[in-house]
Amino acid sequence: MLCIRRATILTPEVQIDNGVLLIEHGRILAVGDDASIATPDYAEVIDAGGLLVTPGFIDLQLNGAFGDDFTLTPDTIWRVAAGLPRWGVTSFLPTIITSPLQQVAQAQETLEGGPPAGWQGSIPLGLHCEGPFLNPQKKGAHNPAHLRLPTVADVAAWSPEAHVRLVTLAPELPGALEMIRTLYARGIVVSAGHSMATYHEAKAAFAAGIRYGTHLFNAMPSLEHRAPGLPGALLSDEALTVGIIPDGIHVHPSIVALAWAAKGPHRLTVVTDAMAALGMAPGSYQIADQEVIVTEHSQGVHEARLASGTLAGSVLAMDEALRRLIVYTGCNLRAALATVTATPADLLGIGHERGRLRAGAWADLVFLTPTLEVVRTIVAGATCYQTD
């Protein structure tokens, strides 16, 4: 048994000063304050005095890190996952972007095979298939040679049980509504993205089963007051959740604040959309089968672009994303935490097990300094990262 004491426990719902967590068999046994929970004699004790303890961070869109790209080499998922706890990420969706469909199948096989013996790290919750059913006019960094129109036959092997949890597609394409209905019926979260959908096309897709918007404002029409398009539909529909990349490059800080005002902590998820250069120096990297040049940027993070100048994912770590969200929006930490914990967990339908600190949930925890630097990450009760 593990006992964490003297923590400031912070979740989207509650703050517990002088808090205590009991963990057994990878799950939270009890959570409360020092007066209500005694330390069992046989427990290993962690003194978290002076630290914040929060739920582990969940990233719904991650293309790779440490030089590895999931689309190009799906077998690197477990290797990358082992390093993600340094940024507080305890679970995530490995993202496979537009490519031959066999790349998705290989990623499914990688997850089905499970981790190597003795492995520890961030838990892959399933795949995010971003494409190949995207609008060529909003392809972004996706190779147009691999784009295709939606057909249900192409996704016959996609389901949560087969490790596909989130699918991004352009809902205005021929055949898209049938695919949306099919995937939704299987329990997959279907997202609108890389799209030229009008407002009315977007609303029809929402009625068919779209529940999410991929990297709001990026790879979609501009928000206009007479033609609100997909971003206007996403922002104005109270039932829709959206992802946003708060690196100061993909979306201007003032527009991040606008999205926050419209959606709030329960309908906004912070994603990194990070690519292979995360954790690496500037240089040349891959996103799927395309070269990406990573350089320094005035916003204080690295910038990833194709030779054409098109943005190609980010080099944003999740702890930095959380800090920037607070700066850009002026929100408090508890509200900001929801966007990387409870809200993505709820979107995936796993809010009872992840994204919150409560009895019965997986013991996925992040220890933060008052300046929100990660000093320890625990996944399923085991320490996977700790500073010296």
Options 59, 69, 247, 273, the catalytic residue: 273
CA distances from residue 82 to 70, 79, 94, 385 in whole angstroms, order as listed: 14, 5, 13, 9
Q: Are 222 and 198 in contact (CB under 8 A)?
A: no
Cis amide leading into 132 (omega within 30) = yes
d(CA 95, CA 80): 12
- C-alpha–C-alpha distance, residues 360 and 354, integer Å: 10
Q: Is 309 exposed, middle or buried (0-12, 13-18, 19+ CB in 10 A)?
A: exposed
CA 331/CA 250 separation, integer angstroms: 20
Alpha-carbon torsion angle 258, 262, 268, 273, nearest 10? -40
Q: How far apart are CA 262 and CA 242, in angstroms?
A: 11
Residues in the chain, how many? Answer: 388
Q: Establish whether 69 is a catalytic residue.
A: no
Buried b / exposed e along 322-361 (16+ C-beta atoms within 10 A): bbbbbebbebebebbbbbbbbbbbbbbebbebbbbbeeeb
Query: Is-contact 13 357, C-beta < 8 A?
Result: no
Q: Please enumerate in sequence order all residues whose Cβ is within 8 A of that of 17, keeping only pairs 6 or more positions apart, or say none.
A: 8, 33
d(CA 183, CA 188): 5
In three-state secondary structure terms, 257 is: helix
Q: In 3D, which of 191, 146, 147 has the Cα closest to residue 166? A: 191
Strands (E), 102-163: 123-124, 127-130
Q: Which residues pair with 303 in a beta bridge?
A: 295
Catalytic residues: 273
